[in-house]
Amino acid sequence: MELSNSEEQLMQILWKKEKAFMKDLVNAYPEPKPALTTVATLLKRMQDKNFVGYEQVGRSREYFPKVTKKKYFSKQMNGMIKSFFNDSPSQFASFFTRETDLSDKELKELRDLIDERIKKK
């Protein structure tokens, strides 16, 4: 399952806070802040998608992410590689290294990361 842009924005806040009540989530938004009802609707949809859980604390709910940022980002990247690069990580890497303004130092760091990963396998 994927998150909409609005849900992803809220998820970014929740990942940063780790646990938060509704008012804390609304206050974390930049101006203009969304209505409480908007955030409540987003949270409900995200619960239905199993991205968010909550603990009842008195009459309030404390929300928390059920999916890590790393896991979500990894799934998104794999989906992008599959959709846009014919399921070819090398096509993605080729595009990434050609279309970004990486310095020689950054390219060498990438190469070192890849070499290190190869050694571990």
Mean pLDDT along residues 8-25: 97
Coil, strand or helix at 108: helix
**pTM score:** 0.78
Whole-number average pLDDT of the chain? 93
Structure token pair of residue 21: 């009540």
Structure token pair of residue 97: 């290294």
How high is the pLDDT of residue 121? 81
Structure token pair of residue 27: 């206050």
pLDDT band of residue 54 (cuts 50, 70, 90) is very high
Domains in the chain, please, with CATH? Answer: 5-65 (1.10.10.10), 69-120 (no CATH)
Q: Is the pLDDT of residue 1 over 80?
A: no
Q: Is the pLDDT of residue 98 over 90?
A: no
